[in-house]
Amino acid sequence: MSKRKETSMGGITVPGGGAAITVPGGSAAITVPGGSAAITVVAGGAGFIGSHLCRALLDKGCEIICLDNLQTARASNLRALEGRPGFTFVRADVVQPLPAAITERTARIDRIYNLACPASPPHYQADPEHTLLTSVVGTHHLLRLAEAAGARFLLTSTSEVYGDPEVHPQQEEYRGSVSCTGPRACYDEGKRAAETLAFDYGRSGRAEVRVARLFNTYGPNMDPDDGRVVSNLICQALADRPVTIYGDGSQTRSFCYVSDTVDGLMRMMEADIDGSEPINIGNPVEITVNELVQRVRRIVGREVTVVHRPLPVDDPRRRRPDIARARALLGWSPKVAVDTGLAHTARWFAEEIGVPLHLAAAQAA
């Protein structure tokens, strides 16, 4: 076997067996794997959940192509994957036609995970047009790839398709209460349209599809500045800054640790199911934001001052998944307790932003 060499481009070093390739709309550093093994494509693979999924697939011996435009993903998420056999990174935007680095390997592609889309409100609202196009046009491009390759396709949708729900907990049959004109619509409606595309491809026999509706996920590799509630509270508390609560803090969320989410996605991809129905992936343990603040305070070992800000437009009041379908079809339920996951996450953030973590978090981890 020949030695693998490294190619560096755009500040990212990626192990490679070939040359850097220029992709329309931006440059890309890639590895060019040899042989004829089946390939799994992970779109959005440099993102928070995507990077954990790439690692888990590599641990199982899969050969993967990680496709990302790095618009909101952190390049540092790729560093842990560098040098691993079977890893390929292609920098490209799924809104644009897929590059030859992908399409030339169509015959070898047998799995496609679509995680490509900003997921935190500040990120997806920063460029709402691109967010919507990523969900719709990007999903269309990847579905066409799945059709050409005969590959199984999994779309990561979101609990945001339920909007500000009038049904609680949220079952997959619930059609949602979503604003199609508000500031969150670029994401919410984009994901709803992406689901429509996926199920239409499935019904017409053009691709074998899966749709996972992800609820709030947290853990290492989150961007400290992504604006989501877990990263906000932990980073503010670690830095001895006032912690921000939007509204009165009575709104509820259900937090699933990233390893559990990834396990659910992988089970769903490989399950012997017809894929005609979406499946909720999330933690059914529901807590208020006020309770989350107190858990973070205990874990980081610091007293916190709370600052209240107005609740964002269309922010949901309650979130809790019904996961009966995931249990029945996938044999899946989350394993990591919220406090355990928060402790691991706090320890990671403390190292990431360079602040000491008090004894409480170290003991909890």
Q: How far apart, in Å, are the Cα atoms of 281 and each of 83, 171, 312?
A: 31, 11, 25
Query: Of 315, 305, 289, 294, which is closest to residue 236 (Cα–Cα)?
Result: 305
Q: Which residue has the tokens 């496609």?
A: 112
Cα separation, 2 vs 284, whole angstroms: 48
Cα separation, 100 vs 321, whole angstroms: 39
> What are the tokens at 120?
């935190």
Q: Helix 48-59 vs helix 258-270: angle between axes, to the nearest 10 degrees?
A: 60
Q: Which amino acid is at 322?
A: D
- CB atoms under 10 Å from CB of 307, counted, come to 11
169 cis-preceded (ω within 30 degrees of 0): yes
Q: How far apart, in Å, are the Cα atoms of 218 and each of 51, 62, 190?
A: 13, 24, 22
Backbone Cα Rg of the chain: 20
Query: Which residues, 6 or more positions from 76, have their beta carbon under 8 angstroms from its beta carbon?
Result: none
Look up 124 and say whether it is catalytic.
no
Catalytic residue, chosen from 187, 201, 218, 257, is: 187
User: Which DSSP category does 111 fall into?
Assistant: E
Active site residues: 187
